[in-house]
């Protein structure tokens, strides 16, 4: 029997940690009130309407629309920008695939840019080389709650006349130079799925201060009709649209969750900063770092590992896989979030698209020559290979004691390196395909 839990030793974290999200009596009452009211749906139902106003005020934009998901909020932004067949839109190689689906749903072509190594966000220095005459927009993704370098991105957008849509699906309440994410670009989208800092179960929020974008996005959200509050419905669709309205039960739930967002973000930040101070002192461990001009809300806390700092001759990917298995056995959260750069997913390698090769084969564009090559995303590849993420573990009500315990967990593995290095890897855990 070894010392590590994976080899039968004592488990370090036996009582576990609380899983996100939090549900209190207040959320239950809000949902029950909707049931009592029997108003469940509608573009102007009271909770949906109130949530839109409250979120527009919170972010600092003129307008907000709630939608059924973050993906649909992104899609109405892309459609609202007038993007269509043959257009190209730039986004990050390290994101959730939804950022690019929103582009392809308009029969437009996603063009991926590698990340920079501090924030793991799109590298602004690599954007210009991907711009062509077909490029219409940039979708920077504020990954894991850390804002992108928005000044640089807005500067490039201005130079080339591009629209900026912030994918803030992971960044509720984060700020860049004191401005809330979602208020810097032309439009923005947030996700409300159950994992998010602001959760409504499922759902999405679209923000803009541009009236034209707002009207266009609202039209496509409502099946291409123009539905105004208090005006008799005309049942006349002006264009192709979707049914992306939000539900009252979820809107009521989200509104209560919003009341605690700042307080809960502050606790996340406290946990994350405390853990970072601890992990910084351990050789071979690279905790996240946040540039001084922005505030992260740590939707995810990504930890990289560098075995060369420990004098070990093992690939970072294999080392990470062993650390991950050993940490899980000790009772800790140790997840992966994305196993490869998004453009290396089968969808982009096969390019079958809608079945006949669209959007790439679309005759309106010039994208047949666009291929997604591994050598364009080397930084992303390194990060997804050598890192794990923590989620609920750093979320409230979990506190500092658990952060100490996690650091102690890493120390335990480092003190028993021989045992850890001898862990046999399940080939599936290191995803050899990519």
**Total binding residues toward ligand PLP, as defined by CB under 6 A:** 14
3-state SS of the chain: helix, strand, coil percent to 5?
40, 15, 45
**Are the C-beta atoms of 37 and 157 separated by less than 8 Å?**
no
Rounded to a whole number, what is the distance in angstroms from the first to the last CA of the chain?
Answer: 35
| C-beta closer to ligand PLP: residue 99 or 219 | 99
Using CA atoms in the order 126, 130, 135, 139, what is the torsion angle rounded to 10 degrees?
Answer: -40
Residues 10-69 that bind ligand PLP (CB under 6 A): 69
Question: Considering the rule CB under 6 A, would residue 170 count as an interface residue with ligand PLP?
Answer: yes
CB of 69 to ligand PLP, least distance (A): 3
Q: Please list every residue from 345 through 374 that binds ligand PLP, using CB under 6 A.
A: none
Closest by CA to 341, choosing from 145, 72, 110, is 110
Q: Which stretch binds ligand PLP (CB under 6 A): 41-49, 163-171, 306-314, 339-347?
A: 163-171
Say what the alpha-carbon torsion angle 253, 254, 259, 262 is, to the nearest 10 degrees.
140
Whats the size of the chain, residue-wise? 434
Minimum distance from residue 149 beta carbon to ligand PLP (Å): 17
Contact range with ligand PLP by CB under 6 A, out of 92-100, 214-222, 316-324, 393-401: 92-100
- Position 191 contacts ligand PLP (CB under 6 A): yes
Q: Which is nearer to ligand PLP, 149 or 330 (CB)?
A: 149
Assess contact for 72 and 218: CB atoms under 8 A: no
**8 Å CB contact between 278 and 402:** no
- Closer residue to ligand PLP, CB minimum distance, 75 or 278: 75
Phi, psi dihedrals of residue 52, rounded to the nearest 5°: -60, -45
Stretch of 15-23, 165-173, 375-383, 421-429 lying at the interface with ligand PLP (CB under 6 A): 165-173
Q: Does 166 bind ligand PLP (CB under 6 A)?
A: no
Separation between Cα atoms, residue 50 and residue 60, nearest integer Å: 15
Task: Give Cα separations from 400 to 17, 21, 60, 171, 219 (angstroms).
Answer: 12, 18, 32, 22, 47
Nearer to ligand PLP, 204 or 284 (CB): 204
Q: How far is the CB of 361 from ligand PLP (least distance, A)?
A: 26
Q: Answer yes or no whether residue 95 interacts with ligand PLP by CB under 6 A.
A: yes
Tell me how far, at minimum, the Cβ of 321 lies from ligand PLP, in Å: 23
45, 48, 77, 98: which one binds ligand PLP (CB under 6 A): 98
Where does this chain touch ligand PLP (CB under 6 A) — which range of 164-172, 177-185, 268-276, 288-296? 164-172
Contact 139, 163 (CB under 8 A): no
Helix 70-80 × helix 211-221 angle, to 10°: 120
Q: Which of residues 296-335 bind ligand PLP (CB under 6 A)?
A: none
Q: Which of residues 194-233 bind ligand PLP (CB under 6 A)?
A: 204
DSSP codes, 154-167? HHHHHHHT-EEEEE
Which ranges of 66-160 does DSSP label H, i.e. alpha helix? 70-80, 98-104, 150-160
Question: For ligand PLP, which residue of 20, 55, 96, 298 counts as binding (CB under 6 A)?
Answer: 96
Tell whether residue 135 is a contact of ligand PLP (CB under 6 A).
no
Answer yes or no whether residue 110 interacts with ligand PLP by CB under 6 A. no
Site residues (CB under 6 A) for ligand PLP, limited to 64-83: 69-71
193 binds ligand PLP (CB under 6 A): yes
Chain mean position to CA 328: 23
**According to the binding rule CB under 6 A, does residue 171 interact with ligand PLP?**
no
Contact 233, 286 (CB under 8 A): no
Mapping DSSP to helix (H, G, I), strand (E, B) and coil, where does residue 65 land? Answer: strand
Question: What is the bridge-based pairing of β-strands 135-139 and 88-92?
Answer: parallel
Inter-residue contact 85 to 362 (CB < 8 Å): yes
**Of the candidates 169, 252, 303, 407, which one interacts with ligand PLP according to CB under 6 A?**
169
Judged by CB, which is closer to ligand PLP: 99, or 135?
99
Pairing state of beta strands 63-67 and 285-286? unpaired
Please report how close the Cβ of residue 198 comes to ligand PLP at its closest, in angstroms. Answer: 11
**Residue whose Cβ sits closest to ligand PLP:** 70
By CB under 6 A, is residue 269 in contact with ligand PLP? no
Chain positions contacting ligand PLP, by CB under 6 A: 69-71, 95-96, 98-99, 141, 167, 169-170, 191, 193, 204
């Amino acid at each position: 029997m070894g010392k590590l839990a994976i080899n039968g030793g004592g488990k370090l974290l036996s009582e576990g940690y609380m899983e996100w999200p939090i549900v209190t009596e207040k959320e239950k009452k809000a949902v029950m009130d909707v049931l009592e009211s029997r108003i469940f749906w509608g573009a102007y139902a009271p909770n949906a309407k109130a949530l839109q106003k409250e979120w527009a005020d919170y972010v600092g934009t003129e307008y907000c629309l709630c939608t059924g998901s973050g993906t649909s909020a992104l899609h109405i932004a892309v459609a609202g920008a007038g993007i269509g067949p043959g257009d190209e839109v730039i986004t990050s190689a390290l994101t959730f695939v939804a950022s690019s689906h929103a582009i392809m749903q308009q029969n437009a072509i996603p063009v991926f840019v590698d990340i920079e190594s501090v924030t793991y966000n799109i590298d602004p220095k690599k954007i210009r080389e991907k711009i062509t005459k077909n490029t219409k927009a940039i979708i920077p993704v504020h990954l894991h709650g850390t804002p992108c370098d928005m000044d640089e991105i807005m500067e490039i957008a201005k130079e080339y006349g591009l629209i900026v849509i912030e994918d803030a699906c992971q960044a509720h309440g984060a700020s860049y130079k004191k401005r809330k994410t979602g208020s810097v670009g032309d439009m923005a989208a947030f996700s409300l799925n159950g994992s998010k800092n602001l959760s409504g179960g499922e759902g999405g929020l679209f923000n803009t201060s541009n009236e034209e974008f707002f009207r266009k996005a609202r039209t496509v959200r409502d099946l291409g009709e123009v539905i105004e509050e208090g005006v008799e419905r005309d049942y006349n669709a002006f264009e192709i649209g979707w049914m992306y309205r939000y539900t009252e039960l979820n809107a009521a739930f989200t509104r209560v969750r919003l009341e605690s967002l700042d307080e809960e973000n502050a606790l996340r930040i406290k946990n994350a900063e405390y853990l970072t101070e601890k992990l910084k002192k351990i050789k071979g461990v690279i905790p996240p770092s946040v540039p001084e001009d922005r505030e992260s809300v740590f939707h995810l806390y990504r930890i990289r590992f560098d075995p060369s700092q420990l004098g070990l001759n093992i690939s970072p990917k294999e080392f990470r896989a062993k650390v991950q298995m050993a940490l899980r056995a000790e009772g800790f959260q140790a997840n992966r979030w994305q196993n490869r750069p998004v453009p290396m997913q089968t969808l982009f390698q096969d390019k079958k698209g809608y079945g006949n090769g669209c959007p790439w084969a679309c005759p309106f564009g010039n994208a047949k020559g666009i291929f997604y090559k591994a050598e364009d995303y080397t930084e992303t590849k390194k990060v997804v290979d050598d890192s794990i993420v923590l989620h609920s573990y750093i979320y409230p009500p979990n506190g500092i004691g658990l952060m100490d315990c996690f650091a102690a967990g890493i120390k335990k593995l480092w003190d028993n390196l021989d045992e850890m290095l001898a862990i046999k890897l399940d080939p599936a855990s290191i995803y050899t395909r990519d």
